[in-house]
Homo-oligomer: A and B are copies of this chain.
Amino acid sequence: MPDSDSDSSGDLNVLSEDPLCAGVFLSNLDVPVSPTEGHFIRSHFPAPQINSADWSLPITGDVETPINLRYHDLLKMPSHEVVSLMECAGNSRSTMQPPAEGVQWDNGAVSVSRWKGVSVKTVLEQASLKSVATDVLFEGVDTGTEPHSGGPLRYAMSVPIEKLLDPDTLLAYEMNGETLPKDHGYPIRLLVPGWYGMASVKWLSNITVMDHPNGGFHEMDYCIYPATDGKADAKVKRVTSLKVKSLISTPTKGSFVTPGSHKIKGVAWSGDGHITKVEISTDDNRTWRPAKLEQPCGSYSWQHWEYDWEAASLGHSLLRSRATDSKGNVQPMLAQWNFRGYQVNSIHSVPITVRKD
């Protein structure tokens, strides 16, 4: 089995080299599935070099039958595919005011892939959960220090059993029909569709079934620490499912367009239901008109939309898109401020200029 060692950052906007953090260009969102080399990358630590022949994945803890899966075992098990969007919890962080520390993502930490692997459910059934089991800890091989971590640690995150019983939650070994690239978690990564990307642990080393959420550095870091209300300590909540959001892919910010007819295009998604409406404003938030939704690409994917715009007035325009999902969630003008800058789903605003050629 070949190790995947290709540089997968070719079509990306690199924000950090080591660990590699690289986002997509929004003009590349207009595809059903992102090309593998154009899928955003968010690593916490340098990508480990793993030889799949030497690698195995023990599943231990609150199980009746601890097992140790080798790479070949997984490839022979019943496979499952899902087209799933992945978005980094810190995507659009740089647009939050006041700003938060962390990777200063613009809006490019979002992509869609066709993932193939084994349902986590299948593996957990094989190991046979004890009745006390509530959460499962996924640890990566990758190791390093984080700001304020006080020492080296491995990337790790626990996920509630309930989410793991969704057959679309995978131990993934393929991305768009090819072996998982090194930067995306070779040989095996977790894929938790509908959740922010922090849960989709790469380079899996261990799976431990537990009777409680693990906590731990990354799990406590990927939390919403809101502004307190001055009366009681605000509730800290884990970052889990994707907030409703949309992005404009065409035109891109700073574009010059001529007066006349143009198509405004983009994508929208939500982890809490499907997209029911995308509205567009071209007049600085005064009026909103519905965009045309295209056929959905799957329940965990994005939804493309387009809007016919007649650019009548010369000068600067702000194009905005606002998505609504089937639970009635609507993108806000300003996302809720939080200390770590997660879940930023403020309405996307794209400044462009209309001018004659």
Contacts and interface: CB of A to CB of B under 8 A. Distances in A.
Interface of A: 95, 97-98, 100, 225-234, 236, 253, 282-284, 286, 312-318, 333-334, 337-339, 346, 349-351, 353-354
A315 B349 CA distance: 31
A350 B339 CA distance: 11
A314 B225 CA distance: 11
A284 B337 contact: yes
Given A98-B253, A98-B349, 19 more contacts: A97-B97, A97-B346, A97-B349, A98-B350, A98-B351, A100-B351, A226-B316, A227-B316, A228-B317, A229-B283, A229-B284, A229-B286, A230-B283, A231-B283, A233-B315, A284-B337, A318-B337, A337-B349, A337-B351
A92 to B, nearest CB: 10
- Residue of A100, A233, A315 most packed against chain B (CB within 10 A): A315
Contacts of A282: 230
A333 B284 CA distance: 16
Given A95-B97, A97-B95, A315-B233, A284 B349 contact: no
A351 B99 CA distance: 9
Contacts of A346: 97
A316 to B, nearest CB: 4
A230 B311 CA distance: 7
A225 B284 contact: no
A312 B232 CA distance: 8
26 contacts: A95-B97, A98-B318, A98-B349, A98-B350, A98-B351, A226-B284, A226-B316, A227-B283, A227-B318, A228-B283, A228-B313, A228-B315, A229-B284, A229-B286, A229-B313, A230-B283, A230-B313, A230-B317, A231-B283, A234-B315, A284-B337, A333-B334, A334-B334, A337-B351, A339-B351, A339-B353
Given A97-B97, A230-B282, A316 B225 contact: yes
Nearest to A96: B97
Contacts of A334: 333-334
A308 B313 CA distance: 50
Given A334-B334, A339-B351, A349-B337, A228 B98 contact: no
Given A284-B226, A337-B318, A312 B98 contact: no
A133 B300 CA distance: 68
A152 to B, nearest CB: 25
A232 to B, nearest CB: 6
